[in-house]
Amino acid sequence: MNLDVFDRLDWKPDRMLIDDLVFRLEHYRSDDWDGGDDYFRFFKTKELVELYRVFFSHYNNFQPHNIFEIGTFDGGSTVFWNEVLHPRKHISIDIMQREDSPYFRRYISSKGLGDRIKTYWGIDQADKDRLLSIISSEYDGNLDLVIDDASHLYGQTRASFEVLFPQIRPGGLYIIEDWAWGHWGGEYLSPDHPWAAEIPLTKLVVEMVEVAGTSTGAVSNVIVNSGFVVVERGWIQFEKPANLDLESLILRRPDDQKPVASGSKLIKRMRQFFSTGR
């Protein structure tokens, strides 16, 4: 991992530079672009990248050798993560039907990364069989890191998690970006927004917390900030190929079970619990 890259980032109004690499900031895209065709499309803001800098500064001993990325657009994020993390193998998928851009191909060729970085286009992140097929053909060992910056929709994101999380080694990380879109306000809360009928990713984050609360063997840690959620893999060995059902990993109080204490009685029970442990 090369955290010094974060210190070398040069932020402009419409682009970010890493030395001679140009990343066009899609959130600030305008018609005034003067950079020609030699750039990567980059869908991350300065604020999000800063959150990553802070996060990885606390995980500076974490070295992901095998990375699987969901949602790469034209490869800009793949290049960014290669500069920061230096994995041995990085596979990226995207649902778009296209091919690598000339700028991306030149980067791969100039760095001699043809055996380490590979993209798959036209892949639906909810296609569990296809994901498993790619994993089995591309990696010799377990995954260390999965980064999901794809649909941001509950069903598709959960499908990917259920099939990929068992492929991660104990202590490995699963990151889902933009989980908080259901709380962003503005157009996202409008009844006319395309996602108005979609389930916010908040539900999935809560389910992951519930898994960690049920048993740290499956999920040992959940870290949440405004830009992404990080799920750390526990020690349980899942059978492979595995297709998890998150609900099967969660224990909840039955819906029809009513609270048995309230007010002063509840406070008394809480004090007893913390003083005796039961």
Q: Quick one: average pLDDT of 129-140?
A: 95
Q: Quick one: average pLDDT of 224-238?
A: 94
Residue with tokens 């060992």: 141
Does residue 256 lie within any of the structural domains?
Answer: no
Residue percentage of the chain with pLDDT more than 70: 91
Least confident of 169-173, 184-188, 226-230, 245-249: 184-188
Gap between the Cα atoms of 101 and 170, Å rounded: 35
Q: Based on the structure, what is the number of domains in the chain?
A: 1
Does residue 16 lie within any of the structural domains?
Answer: yes
Token pair belonging to 168? 């991660």
Q: Quick one: average pLDDT of 167-187?
A: 93
Does residue 276 lie within any of the structural domains?
Answer: no
Do 238 and 166 meet the contact criterion of CB atoms below 8 Å apart? yes
Residue 205: the pLDDT is 97
Gap between the Cα atoms of 200 and 4, Å rounded: 35
Task: Quote the DSSP letter at residue 184.
Answer: S
Token pair belonging to 46? 């300065």
Instruction: Provide the edge-to-edge strand list for the sheet that holds 143-148.
Output: 117-121, 89-94, 66-70, 143-148, 168-177, 228-233, 219-224
Name 17's bridge partners. Answer: 10, 22
Does residue 261 lie within any of the structural domains?
Answer: no
Mean pLDDT score across all residues of the chain: 90
Tell me which residue of 238, 227, 109, 79 sits closest to 168, measured CA to CA. Answer: 238
Q: What CATH number is attached to the domain comprising 14? A: 3.40.50.150
Instruction: Provide the edge-to-edge strand list for the sheet that holds 15-18.
Output: 10-11, 15-18, 21-25, 40-42
Q: How confident is the model at residue 276 (pLDDT cuts 50, 70, 90)?
A: low
**What's the chain's Rg over C-alpha atoms?**
21
Q: Is the pLDDT of residue 1 over 60?
A: yes
Does residue 136 lie within any of the structural domains?
Answer: yes
Residue 104: the pLDDT is 95
Residue with tokens 């996060």: 55
3-state secondary structure (DSSP) of residue 214: helix
- The 10s digit of each residue's pLDDT in 50-81 is 999 999 999 989 999 999 999 998 899 999 99
Does residue 86 lie within any of the structural domains?
Answer: yes
* pTM summary value: 0.90
Q: How confident is the model at residue 31 (pLDDT cuts 50, 70, 90)?
A: confident
Does residue 75 lie within any of the structural domains?
Answer: yes
Q: Quick one: average pLDDT of 133-162?
A: 95
